[in-house]
Amino acid sequence: MTKPNAYMEHLVAMDQDLCKYRPLSRIICHDDFDKGMCGWMDLHPNYVGKNFNTLRYSQVDKTQWGPVMLSSASFRLAGTHGSMNGTYSLKLSTRPIANGYTEAPAPGSLSHGIKRLTTHLPEGRRQFEMWYAYTPEQDREGLSEESVRAFGVFFDIQDEAHRYFIGARYLNAVNGKAVKRWQVFRAADVTDLEWAYGVENDWCKRGIDAMWYGRRRPDGSTDGFEWVPGGSQELCYNESDDKINWNYLRLLIDTKTRTYVELQSGNTVFDLRGMAPTLTAPYAKIKGLFNPGIWVENDQNRRVFFYVDSVVISGE
């Protein structure tokens, strides 16, 4: 468990919206989506080829990923929820299409939000905090929690020597069967070709973009993620798909050692010390990259939604 730092111990006053967080000494951004998108947007491929097409074929088609938008969280029966504190949250929405778990994700089966930042602090601890909710579209009878396959948070970082994805995924369901376990980004010992579903010269290398790359197995394990020890957790979902409950999530990492520190979900803290992401060679033109990201994936042919009330990114 992290302890209050000297900055926070001597703080005289704090924005009341920050009181539901426990940031490190330097707040990099406090994104309250009642104030707008705050720089968050959906992920697109690099449209740099002829006629603004992508340069190379990939098994994963990111042109159809679901949109990112501001939402008042309205439902057909419950009406408007609003956000945890205010009216608007950031909403990620998939399209109503899904492949089986062991296949490559179907175009549109994920929605991905990203904020494009660069680093400005000395290497050290960084933290991602948010309050979030999730639910499938209320388009049919019954309780459909298992329509949500997974969601997660991460940092996409490139320093002087490496690029790496470091983050956590909550695997909620696999082919309609509940799993409810946390994983962290860490690639298996596979080739770049295996990582990219057998596509030669794919732009994505082992360890990058594990949200949709890396082979998946029926038990929920993948070539892109490693199980968190003791990481099973039942989250509060409520009794109907038109009701949402706001959940707290905190991920603490160390960019100096390039390691995980801890993950907090609700009032449960998972000790991640000793775990590390997969380091890859640097990519061109993105030195100093420090992109926080979030995503959600569906498990059935229906839309699922992920709502984020606010986000705090902080460092030391």
The answer to whether 292 touches 168, Cβ cutoff 8 Å, is no
Secondary structure of residue 270 in the 3-state scheme = strand
pLDDT, tens digit, for every residue of 20-73?
A: 999 999 999 999 999 999 999 998 777 777 887 776 777 788 788 888 999 999
- C-alpha torsion sign, points 23, 20, 182, 192: negative
Burial 10-20 (b: 16+ CB within 10 A, else e): eeeeeeebbee
Q: Is it the case that residue 316 has pLDDT exceeding 70? A: yes
**Residue 184 pLDDT greater than 90, yes or no:** yes
How far, in Å, CA of 116 to CA of 272, rounded? 26
What's the pLDDT band for 13 if we cut at 50, 70, 90?
low
The residues, ordered by sequence, that sit 6+ positions from 246 with a Cβ below 8 Å of its Cβ are 84, 131, 132, 133, 309
Mean pLDDT of the chain: 93
Helix or strand holding residue 27 (H, E) = strand 26-32
Report all structural domains of the chain as residue ranges with CATH numbers, in order of start.
35-72+89-305 (2.60.120)
What are the angstrom distances between the C-alpha of 178 and each of 123, 133, 175, 244?
A: 38, 18, 9, 19
Beta strand extents in 105-209 (DSSP E only): 110-115, 125-136, 148-158, 163-174, 177-185
Helix, strand, or coil (residue 6): helix
User: Residue 167 half-sphere exposure, CB side, CA atoms within 13 Å?
Assistant: 25
Predicted confidence (pLDDT) at residue 311 exceeds the cutoff of 70: yes
Tell whether the model's pLDDT for residue 185 goes beyond 60: yes
Query: CB-side exposure of 37: number of CA atoms within 13 Å?
Result: 12
Q: Give percent of the chain above pLDDT 90.
A: 80
Nearest to 89 by CA among 238, 306, 304, 295: 306
Return the closest-CA partner of residue 295 out of 159, 138, 134, 98: 134
Listed residue (219, 128, 223) closest to 181, CA to CA = 219
Instruction: Give the per-residue pLDDT at 121.
Output: 96
Work out the angle at residue 298's Cα, subtended by the Cα atoms of residues 297 and 302, and round it to the nearest 5 degrees: 145
pLDDT tens figures, 147-168: 999 999 999 999 999 999 999 9
| Cα gap 91→255, rounded to integer Å | 29
